[in-house]
Amino acid sequence: MSAKERFLKKLQDSQPRSGSLGNKVQVDIAEFRQRMSELQENIEEWLTDTDIRVESTSVSLVECLIGGKSFSVPGIQLQYEDRKIKFTPVFLYGQGVTGCVEASLCTQSGIIVLCRLFMQAGENRHWTWRPANAFDGPGGAFGEDAFFELVELLLP
């Protein structure tokens, strides 16, 4: 094999296969959908015996980092009287995570973005959260306690 052939083979081997990238994206989208469904199940369990209504919504995302392709992901809406908290998926890839959800309080006065939840991939399957518009500072694991601190805003 000539030096040129070795170089071209090495170059070809080092480039990601378009099919494998497509498969990874499909796996990440499927996991995002699954994790949103699991989050809704947790929320429904946490809110058992309350008057807070939990509804599933469908959110269409356009992901620039995968060529502008669109796909749907479940969202979650909590309603108590005339107030709502919406958990809306906002992107799949970015800020070092795979999957981001924005939580907002919706009242007659308007919409207030409360925080962002970030899906952790791999072995660590926990959600983390960070206050709205904060790139560092307080935040942490998003579990039952953090959820109830957030949902307290539904109460007048």
What are the average pLDDT values for consecutive 10-residue runs of the chain, which has 156 residues?
72 55 82 94 95 95 82 96 95 85 94 91 78 70 92 88
Q: Looking at residue 126, what is its pLDDT? A: 82
In the chain, how many domains are there?
1
Domain hosting 149: range is 3-154
Regarding pTM above 0.85, the answer is: no
Local structure of residue 38 (DSSP, 8 states): H
Q: Looking at residue 36, what is its pLDDT? A: 95
Rounded distance between C-alpha atoms, residue 107 and residue 47, angstroms: 20
Distances (CA, A) of 100 to 2, 55, 73, 116, 152: 48, 19, 11, 7, 22
